[in-house]
């Protein structure tokens, strides 16, 4: 079995266009990268930026949002809402140190099965080139700072207690005070 790292791509596809296009890609027997995990939402306008951040924080290397072409939204305005959020979210993510190619918005109509294949393949290759984002591992690494301290505190308190028992004042008494 190939144990090599594989990019993980989370995709939010709207029920009316892009998810249908992914179905079409399936019945048309188009092959595309198996790295994508598709989540169906009723509209790209339902994609809260919190979903995207959460996907990344839980280990996704990239997030793809697919919606109807402008003017085609089943709910009239939803895809425009996503488009506006996308622009500000991208700027915010850049300031937080996340590469631009990791989050992408695409308009894919129900007839564009081939575009699902093309976008998923493209993005998978881009993510492979970028390497893992690895946020869960990063959070763990950051928190080791605190675990180390907890161990330090216990060690110092034990030493202080021992010093107190021996009836002498610790040389480093109230070092924090």
Partner 1 sequence: MPKPKVAFYWCASCGGCEETVVDLAEDILGVVEKVDIVLWPVAMDFKYKDVEAMEDGSIFATLINGAIRTSEQEHLAQLLRRKSRYLIAYGACAQMGGIPALANQFPREQVLRFNYEEAPSVDNPSKTRPQTVVEDNGRRPRLPAFRNVVRTLDQVVDVDYFIPGCPPTPNLTKAAFDALLSGNLPPKGSVIAPDVALCHECPRKASKPTDVAFTQFTRPHLTLADPGKCFLAQGLVCMGPATRSGCQAACINGNMPCTGCFGPTSRVRDHGAKMLSSLSANVAARDEQGIRQILDGIPDPVGTFYRYGMARSILRRRVDLGVNGNGH
Residues lying near partner 1 in the complex (CB under 8 A) are found at 45, 48-50, 53-54, 56-57, 70, 80-81, 83-85, 87-89, 91-92, 95-98, 133, 135, 138-139, 141-146, 149-150, 152-153, 171-177
Distances in whole angstroms, Cα of residue 120 to Cα of each of 110, 145, 170: 16, 38, 63
Q: How far is the CB of 18 from partner 1 (least distance, A)?
A: 19
Nearer to partner 1 by Cβ, of 33 and 98: the residue is 98
Nearer to partner 1 by Cβ, of 125 and 173: the residue is 173
Residues contacting residue 124 through CB under 8 Å, at least 6 positions apart: 7, 9, 33, 35, 36
Q: Is the CB of residue 159 less than 8 Å from the CB of residue 170?
A: yes
Residues contacting residue 86 through CB under 8 Å, at least 6 positions apart: 65, 103, 105
Nearer to partner 1 by Cβ, of 4 and 145: the residue is 145
Q: How far is the CB of 50 from partner 1 (least distance, A)?
A: 5
State the Cα angle at 36 between 71 and 101, rounded to 5°. 70
Q: How far is the CB of 70 from partner 1 (least distance, A)?
A: 7
Nearer to partner 1 by Cβ, of 45 and 113: the residue is 45
């Amino acid at each position: 079995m190939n144990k090599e790292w594989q990019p993980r791509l989370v995709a939010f596809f709207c029920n009316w266009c892009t998810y249908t296009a992914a179905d079409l890609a399936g019945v048309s027997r188009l092959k595309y990268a198996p790295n994508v995990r598709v989540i169906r939402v009723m509209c790209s306008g339902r994609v809260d930026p919190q979903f995207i951040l959460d996907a990344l924080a839980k280990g996704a290397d990239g997030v793809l949002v697919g919606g109807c072409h402008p003017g085609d939204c089943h709910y009239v305005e939803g895809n425009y809402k996503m488009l506006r959020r996308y622009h500000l979210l991208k700027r915010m993510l850049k300031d937080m140190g996340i590469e631009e190619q990791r989050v992408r918005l695409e308009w894919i109509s129900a007839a564009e099965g081939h575009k699902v294949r093309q976008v998923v393949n493209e993005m998978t290759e881009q993510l492979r080139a970028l390497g893992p984002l690895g946020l869960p591992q990063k959070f763990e690494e950051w928190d080791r700072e605190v675990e180390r301290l907890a161990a330090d505190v216990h060690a110092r308190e034990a030493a202080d207690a021992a010093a107190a028992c021996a009836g002498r004042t610790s040389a480093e008494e109230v070092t924090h005070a």
